[in-house]
Structure 1
Amino acid sequence: MRWPRIIFIALLVLIFGAFLHYTLPQRDIVRITGTEIIRQDFSGLNRIFYAQGDSGNAQPDSRDLRLINAVFPDRVNEAGEVTRAGSVMVYRNEDTGFGWPPYFKLDSADLHAEASNLTSTGADPRWVAITHYGWRSRLLTTYPNAVEIRLVDGPDVTLIPWLSILILLGLAFVAFMAWRIWERFEDRVIDPIRDRLAVQWAKLKDRAAGRG
């Protein structure tokens, strides 16, 4: 019974970790290369990875989707030579409304205008920090959802994810308290019941063997 329990707990941890990685805010330092609006058809496979249309509008199976195209900084060596060109990234720009995850984003149109205004070229780059959640999957045609854009000093700026750290610390505290409560419940309730059942079972075995 030991290995099935370990595998079950490992699967729960893996699923919960993936849920947190998808939901918690992340920030990328990128250069915006353009914005566009495409017509997106939603299937049963990728529908759960999209939020909703603009708040107040109907939610059809096919609708316009705002996208923000960006590129990461180039990788350079100590001599300042480019060793690898920056990879590209595409973000969607959708309202989350009052659903899950609870970002309460209602300004996707304003964010689209802001992203268009911050578009720049490689010759004269403007670096921004895009706060987002979600995953980019070319197979499922899904994009991380941008929730905030902020101009930064350069591609090497360091950003500390204070909000994610606080959320993870809070979850760790809740998990620790739940474990302590379960331990006390097990000591005060489950263990005495288990001991009484063991004693009764031993008496039944003795009676069945003619020793009672």
Structure 2
Amino acid sequence: MARYFRILKWVILSLMALTLVAFFHYVLPQHDVVRITDTSTQRIDMGENSLFWAAADLGTDATQTTRDVKFIATIQPNGKPMVYRNEDTGWIWPPYFKFDSYNVQAEASDLKSTAEAPKWVMITHYGWRNEWFTIFPNAVSVKAVEGPDVTVFPWVNIVILSGLLAILFMLWRMWAQFKERTIDPTIDAVDARADAMADSARGFGGRISAWLGTWRAKPRK
């Protein structure tokens, strides 16, 4: 039974770790070098995938489940298409504080190009692209770059993750000290009292057995 509990514990911990990795992979900024082919605005009916869309732009009716969403269509250096949505995040989650989706759309429109005369653009975004569930990453900014091989060192992600690891380490140390100073002594005291009670019970039982032994018939000689 203990073996199955250990397996269950590791399964739960693994699922928690995978969920945490997926969460940060979704919300942390990523950088793609692409060629913009088109920009458009489409009317979208929010359905079961509404979790993966941002809130309505500031100044619009946030109670509506149908709204206009700006899109940026691109082609990656390997020739595969990639489509981004362009929505404000406002003051809510994730904390990009993006209020300039219209400006981003104007910049993207200005950077459109063809395969014969490509203009390469770096799009900073968060989120995933999933065709099955109609999920699009949200473009945070666009910037012209020299070529398709330009890369960006992810210093923002490193700073955020390092800070979170430092906080987790500090919380773990606080818990370890609290456990060492408060929980462990309490458990030891309870164990000591239980042992003392067990010893007392055994001593009392031994005295009773000895007393009962005096009532037993002694063997005849």
**Offset at 1:157?**
1.1
CA displacement, residues 98-143 of structure 1 (integer Å, 9 cap, x when unaligned)? 0000111111111111111100001000001100001111111110
Of 64, 70, 73, which aligns to 2:68? 64
Q: Residue in 2 aligned with 1:55?
A: 58
Counterparts of 1:34 and 1:146, CA distance in 2? 14
**Offset at 1:191?**
0.9
1:14 aligns with 2:33: no
Q: Residue in 2 aligned with 1:2?
A: 6
Counterparts of 2:86 and 2:103, CA distance in 1? 10
Matches within 5 A, 1:1-212: 1-43=5-47, 45-59=48-62, 60-74=64-78, 86-211=79-204
AA aligned opposite 1:90: V
Counterparts of 2:23 and 2:166, CA distance in 1? 18
Counterparts of 1:11 and 1:206, CA distance in 2? 45
Counterparts of 1:136 and 1:51, CA distance in 2? 14
Name structure 1 gaps, 5 residues minimum.
75-85
* Most deviating of 96-105 and 174-183: 174-183
AA aligned opposite 1:113: A
**Offset at 1:208?**
3.9
Q: Secondary structure at the match of 1:27?
A: strand
Q: Secondary structure at the match of 2:147?
A: coil
Q: Residue in 2 aligned with 1:83?
A: none
AA aligned opposite 2:86: N
**Offset at 1:6?**
1.9
Counterparts of 1:108 and 1:11, CA distance in 2? 35
Structure 1 segments (4+ residues) deviating >4 Å: none
RMSD: 1.4
Counterparts of 1:191 and 1:4, CA distance in 2? 25
Count the aligned residue pairs.
Answer: 200
**Offset at 1:204?**
2.9
Q: Residue in 2 aligned with 1:81?
A: none
TM (norm. structure 2) is 0.86
**Which structure: greater helix fraction?**
2
Identity of aligned residues (%): 47
